[in-house]
Structure 1
Amino acid sequence: MTDMTPREVLALCREREIYAVDLRFMDFPGLQKHFTIPVSELTEQSFDEGFGFDGSSIRGWQAINESDMLVVPEASTAIVDPFMTRTLAMTCNIQDPITREDYAKDPRNVARKAERYMRSTGIADTANFGPECEFFVFDDVRFDSSQQHAFYYIDSQEGQWNRGRVEAGGNRGHKIRYGEGYFPVPPTDTLQELRTEIMLRLQECGVGVEAQHHEVASGGQCEVDLKFAPLVQSADQLLLYKYIVKNVAARHGKTATFMPKPIWNDAGSGMHLHFSLWKDAQNLFAGSGYAGLSDTALYAIGGILKHAYSVMAFACPTTNSYKRLVPGYEAPVNLTYSSRNRSAAIRIPVHSPRPENKRFEFRCPDPSSNSYLAMSAMLMAALDGIENRIDPGPPLDKDIYDLAPEELVDVARTPLSLDESLLALRKDHEFLLRGDVFTEDVIDTWIWYKSEKEIEALRQRPHPFEFAMYYDI
């Protein structure tokens, strides 16, 4: 992703003989949308005037009687699509066609306002996020839910459950043992070349990559780590990341998912967010306190821990998210902080003493989240912590999973369900409204959509495991 101007985008179109321009944006729950125009329709004026579309057909947005909306291309996000023929893609902002105001329920607009509010406080001028976004790659997936049946079936050639399977050409036996998927080499790691192609496609599109590797779970769990970037840019890159991962997997005859917990009884997928605040090119989180952090960083931790339930309504936004947040599987189930200890909700990396590397990692978010909203909520909680000097309490440097129950009495736990997070968001969202970053309408619509379209929809349907438990009752 580059910082091109509209004129430079048009020059790129001529240079690369582009004939299609893909206009992309994210809907309210967090799914990318797009439509395509011929390159002849793209002019310098387009970057101000935008293009019309039907906002009533986008989840959580406009009513049918006020459906007209505008997508306004952001030149700085332009890339040549690595999968489509002579196609340029741009991420867009959403505007009202009459008032020309940025649309409050456009997730990217929320993130842009979060950055503006941060600068208005004088605390910092840049919020850097470095995402570690995990995903699964399967060879086969089938699922359905109807009035008289519900099921899912997934398969991976490297899944430990396939050790005894009869395979074409013979079973070679290199299957990943349960809980031992971290860093195996080929042939056990069957996805090395796929991840390398993802890494290369990301770099071609201007996205910095730090590393790629197999993750802990059997059955195709992967991770490609992105370099840190300012909030809006980082969220833009995550949108592109998901697009590239899914399309590379499809080209390899496989399927990728960012569902947090697709496999029972094995590790789920997180989206750990490394976070730091900067001002005048100086890292505000470097200091002489615990784990080399400043008071500013510790107050930011205090704010995130205080508002964790509300933040997780956006950072862990699906019913499936809370199937990941259970003891074991390296999932952070206790709201505390620590250096090095990956069982804490917030971890402070200590691999480098250099001030520019000082940051902390919020480990609760998962890749089902709308990255614009999740990062914005996290930033707003951190700013509240700094402004109100919220003490995060003492760190917990012991292995949380090995602590006796009496030692965990005073350690807050992550929410058990999406219901709990949404209830907390209803009660605790004043910090999100500052600077008009999240509006009351955004909060209300989010709670309504998640409650009615997801929680209630799931609650009303029999679960396949209920037949195993209750059919002969």
Structure 2
Amino acid sequence: MSVQNVLDKIKENSIQFVDFRFVDLSGRAHHITLPSTEVDADTFVNGVAFDGSSIVGFRGIEESDMVMMPDTESVYVDPFTDHPTLNVMCNIHTPDGERYERDPRSIAQKAEEYLQKSGVGTAAFFAPESEFFIFDDVRYESSMNTSFFSVDSEEAAWNTGRKEEGGNLAFKVGVKGGYVPVAPVDSQQDIRSEMVRLMQESGLRVERHHHEVATAGQAEINFRFDSLTKTADNLLKYKYIVHNVARQYGKVATFMPKPLFGDNGSGMHVHQSIFNGDTPLFWEKGAYANLSEMALNYIGGILHHAPALIALTNPSTNSFKRLVPGYEAPVNLVFSKGNRSAAVRIPVAAVTPKGCRIEFRTPDSTANPYLAFAAMLLAGIDGIKRKIDPTALGYGPFDKNIYDLSDEEKKEIRSVPGTLNEALDALEADSAFLTEGGVFTEDFIANYVAVKRAEAKAVDIRIHPHEYSLYFDC
């Protein structure tokens, strides 16, 4: 879309405000809003200034001036504002016009440029399955003398005996019993449908929605794949709509990987493939799961670099509460066709040559999608360039339920890191594949690790409520 097309859209839709947005290190969006009367062609040339020192992991106060450069391909009309507003994603530049090396969106674009320069293919396509919970009540506190969280949902398994409803209507969702039931067990059909409606109006092509496995309102909405940066833009749009529709219904949505103990957590399974023009490069009819050698090498790169990747795809302390055996969590670093106990699954049902893809099941939605998708692509390209054979390295194929194996059999299978700090250690030891082509810089990685270690320490030094259960009577 040209700048003139955007200006025409502002006029045609009687837009009163233009919301300029960028994404921080953690993947959260920030915005500055201009009256549409202050937006003209020069705005898209000169950008919008902001204070980078107020964003964690960006710049110090002595060099805080930064510029948002709007991307005209990312615009959509905000579905929630009372005053007609046009949203636009931006890249971050320094005052002298250089692309800021710590800008996650610019890193995603550099990864796409590196793919084209590598000769491997012309485009990488991504499709995340980002799961979430919809709760009715969320309360938490962490202070000197208090630490707790409490969540509630009208459809939660623990509410079968609750009286406060004015007559309990039953039909609660059991633990691990929430996969695609109909109403009245699934009480959130209309909420998800409203989310889908607004996603479609905002330009997303939505394929389906359904209740997910866990109790207490776990949900999933799938939108169609696109190129790397566009898909990351779409995921931010998706989360924005999910959060705000839930709020409109008097509920609250969270993409936190493990908000509940004892039931499945929320992942972000990421489907990915590479094309050369219109030709899919991951398909080879008759091979294992109809995968080409390139696709297998891509899988090899993902699994070989997985411990380091996970620092970017699962970058929270809470991520590792989900990555434990027994809750459909993909903790095993192997690949398999149609097997959801493997870290890399190859979908085989109703798959066409153009739909042939691999699915990395370990990530979750605390990931910054621009960084996570870029890192996965770079790991895959490294596997292709080095011809990493996942079978020769013992990564599969593993076509059996890994959860049912004996402890002795499991010893041969690599697992994901057990903590955020372990993943950060792996990233520090294995980051060269990320700096290929200047996509990530050593400065970015060092800064990222420092920010994430601070988060891990903030959790480690605090007293956990369960410690009272274990140790108070010592």
Q: Same fold (TM over 0.5)?
A: yes
User: Are residue 294 (structure 1) and residue 292 (structure 2) matched?
Assistant: yes
AA matched with 2:194:
E
- SS of the residue corresponding to residue 25 of structure 1 reads strand
For 1:420 and 1:287, how far apart are their aligned partners in 2?
A: 37
Partner in structure 2 of residue 468 of structure 1 = 469
Change (3 A) 1:68 1:202: same
For 2:302 and 2:30, how far apart are their aligned partners in 1?
A: 30
AA matched with 1:101:
E
Partner in structure 2 of residue 372 of structure 1 = 370
- CA deviations 1:281-320 (Å, max 9, x no partner) are 1110001421000000000000000000111100000000
Partner in structure 1 of residue 116 of structure 2 = 119
For 2:91 and 2:357, how far apart are their aligned partners in 1?
A: 30
Partner in structure 2 of residue 406 of structure 1 = 408
User: Are residue 433 (structure 1) and residue 435 (structure 2) matched?
Assistant: yes
Name which of 299, 307, 310 aligns with 1:309. Answer: 307
Partner in structure 2 of residue 330 of structure 1 = 328
For 1:40 and 1:75, how far apart are their aligned partners in 2?
A: 18
- Greater alpha carbon shift after TM alignment, 295-304 vs 205-214: 205-214
For 2:417 and 2:284, how far apart are their aligned partners in 1?
A: 32
- Greater alpha carbon shift after TM alignment, 165-174 vs 326-335: 165-174
For 1:353 and 1:32, how far apart are their aligned partners in 2?
A: 34
Partner in structure 2 of residue 163 of structure 1 = 160
For 1:154 and 1:141, how far apart are their aligned partners in 2?
A: 4
- CA deviations 1:337-382 (Å, max 9, x no partner) are 0001100000001112421111010000001110000000000000
Partner in structure 1 of residue 13 of structure 2 = 16
Name which of 40, 51, 54 aligns with 1:54. Answer: 51
Partner in structure 2 of residue 443 of structure 1 = 445
- SS of the residue corresponding to residue 324 of structure 2 reads coil
AA matched with 1:472:
D
User: Are residue 136 (structure 1) and residue 133 (structure 2) matched?
Assistant: yes
User: Are residue 354 (structure 1) and residue 352 (structure 2) matched?
Assistant: yes
Partner in structure 1 of residue 179 of structure 2 = 182
TM-score of the superposition, structure 2-length normalised? 0.98
| 1:169 shift after superposition | 3.1
- Whether the aligned pair in 2 keeps the contact of 1:259 and 1:269 (CA below 8 Å) is yes
- Whether the aligned pair in 2 keeps the contact of 1:292 and 1:353 (CA below 8 Å) is no
For 1:354 and 1:109, how far apart are their aligned partners in 2?
A: 32
For 1:166 and 1:433, how far apart are their aligned partners in 2?
A: 58
For 1:342 and 1:353, how far apart are their aligned partners in 2?
A: 17
**Pairs within 5 Å for 1:84-103:** 84=81, 85-98=83-96, 100-103=97-100
- Whether the aligned pair in 2 keeps the contact of 1:267 and 1:330 (CA below 8 Å) is yes
- Whether the aligned pair in 2 keeps the contact of 1:177 and 1:218 (CA below 8 Å) is yes
AA matched with 2:174:
R
- Whether the aligned pair in 1 keeps the contact of 2:324 and 2:331 (CA below 8 Å) is yes
For 2:331 and 2:41, how far apart are their aligned partners in 1?
A: 50
AA matched with 1:450:
K
For 1:56 and 1:361, how far apart are their aligned partners in 2?
A: 37
- SS of the residue corresponding to residue 126 of structure 2 reads strand
- SS of the residue corresponding to residue 41 of structure 2 reads coil
TM-score of the superposition, structure 1-length normalised? 0.98
For 1:173 and 1:400, how far apart are their aligned partners in 2?
A: 35
For 2:206 and 2:423, how far apart are their aligned partners in 1?
A: 32
- SS of the residue corresponding to residue 59 of structure 1 reads coil
Say what the alpha-carbon RMSD is for the aligned residues: 0.8
Change (3 A) 1:378 1:152: same
- CA deviations 1:85-108 (Å, max 9, x no partner) are 20111001100012x011111100
- Whether the aligned pair in 2 keeps the contact of 1:346 and 1:361 (CA below 8 Å) is yes
- Greater alpha carbon shift after TM alignment, 426-435 vs 41-50: 41-50
Change (3 A) 1:87 1:308: same
AA matched with 1:180:
G
For 2:355 and 2:58, how far apart are their aligned partners in 1?
A: 39
For 2:76 and 2:58, how far apart are their aligned partners in 1?
A: 27
**Pairs within 5 Å for 1:240-255:** 240-255=237-252
- Whether the aligned pair in 1 keeps the contact of 2:26 and 2:366 (CA below 8 Å) is no
| Unaligned segments of structure 2, at least 5 residues | none
- SS of the residue corresponding to residue 247 of structure 1 reads helix
User: Are residue 384 (structure 1) and residue 385 (structure 2) matched?
Assistant: no
- CA deviations 1:388-442 (Å, max 9, x no partner) are 0001113100100001122222210111111111000001000000111000011
For 1:18 and 1:27, how far apart are their aligned partners in 2?
A: 26
- Greater alpha carbon shift after TM alignment, 124-133 vs 345-354: 345-354
- SS of the residue corresponding to residue 322 of structure 1 reads helix
Partner in structure 2 of residue 213 of structure 1 = 210
Change (3 A) 1:465 1:203: same
User: Are residue 79 (structure 1) and residue 90 (structure 2) matched?
Assistant: no
Name which of 272, 279, 282 aligns with 1:282. Answer: 279
- Whether the aligned pair in 2 keeps the contact of 1:163 and 1:173 (CA below 8 Å) is yes
